[in-house]
Structure 1
Amino acid sequence: MCGHCDPDTTIRKCDTPRSMRWPGDGWPTSIAIFDPRASLDTLPASLNLLSILSSGQLAAGAFVRGVYTSLDGNSSSTTNGSQRHMMALTMETITTNLKKLCLELPPPGGPKANYSPLHRDGDLLYLSGHLPIKADGSMIVGVCAPASVVGSDSNFIGTDQGYEAARWCALNLLSTVNAYLSENSATSADLSNIKVVKLFGIVRSHDDFQEQHLVMNGASDLIKDVLGDSGACHARSAIGSNSLPLGIAVEVEMICKIVE
């Protein structure tokens, strides 16, 4: 594996440099990574891994093209590698993606205590925990709880509401990055030059709540929907806590990289 891909994702796209890929015009410009549980018997004969190995077509360190296997064991293939080529990201594309979601980047919020919302170290941007502040300025508060107990206390919220909270956290993170790049004359980068490296989420949780990972999908999905491939292959952690500042339901941190 390339080390850049989310292990939770069955099909992962890779940004391996062209110089490390298969040579020749006939080879694809993108690759697929196999589920190690896949059976070789499910692959088309022309793409059978053993056949490729025995024919000497597989160079050291190369990946087999156009084949992937889903978690349910169904295999698929693409004969045209260009179908999996990453599309170039622009600010126009980002704006279009936001409009499709009926969203826009909100004004960046200031810190709620003695810290900086963003710290830059080289090409890496480290973002402090961001809150689930909605477009109207309100915050999503509450304790994420199992469905069986949500109705027993008005302070309890379900996984779906937690998911929404994580989405707002992610949108606010992107807003902070966008504002920093727009105001920093030392770089010509904008949001289209950002590659998300890692998300870290803290979910305010009931003792019996075990769906923190599903809550954090809200942040991951939003990042992917807005940034496309640049947001899709990030590392991630999700933990539960019995309390968060201001009673918020979710707090999310982010590490991203400027790629100019």
Structure 2
Amino acid sequence: MTDTELAANHDSTGNQAGAELAQKLSAWPGLLNRVDKSWYPALSTVSDEIIAAMSYASQGDYLPAEDDVFRALSLPLEKVRVLIVGQDPYPTPGHAMGLSFSTHPAATGAPPRSLANIYQELAADTGHAVTADGDLRPWHEQGVLLLNRVLTVAPGQAGSHRKQGWESVTEAILRALPAENLVAILWGKQAQECEKFLDCPAITSPHPSPLSARRGFFGSRPFSRANQYLTDQGCQPIDWQL
């Protein structure tokens, strides 16, 4: 096959997988609205687990909004350069928006404490003062996959949707990632459990939570280390400044 024929075959496969997946997930018509078609084959392998997780979440209110659940996957698979794994969405209404550690652009007040600690380490690591709110979309737009391990949560109840199917879904997403031109940043034990699903290098440290940030997160320099790996591989570094 020529490159053009291969690309056309890939598009056809993705479109077919997307149509079948949308049909299976028709109870949640907005769920795939933001998903790039490059992720459809991986998601199709775990459609039953998505249904189980969303059925559980839909028994009550859940965060983020339906069309934000897979927001991280609006980033095309082939454009992912850095992976940052979170635990589950912020349980505070108005904060969760589908990208790990990021808050909704309309959120008011101080950023969550873990994010504040990320900003503190970012400033120390890169030398850039952080003046932004909690919106991490500029990272996402450059190729940073901000993926939570569990993709929904009940308002005010952190961890409430664990072990309901999402872990299998995000495992499939992680296994779809390439081995080259990619580096993972894994904060805390839960994120580091994902390393076995990855073929790329990983930068690990304790979680930025106030409970563990001073046990090795501060001073770990994840942002400059990730960029060093990317440049060593001939890839464009991330502009981490917010």
Q: TM-score range by the shorter chain?
A: under 0.3
Q: Which has the higher helix share?
A: 2
**TM-score, reference length from structure 2:** 0.23
**TM-score, reference length from structure 1:** 0.22
Q: Which has the higher strand share?
A: 1
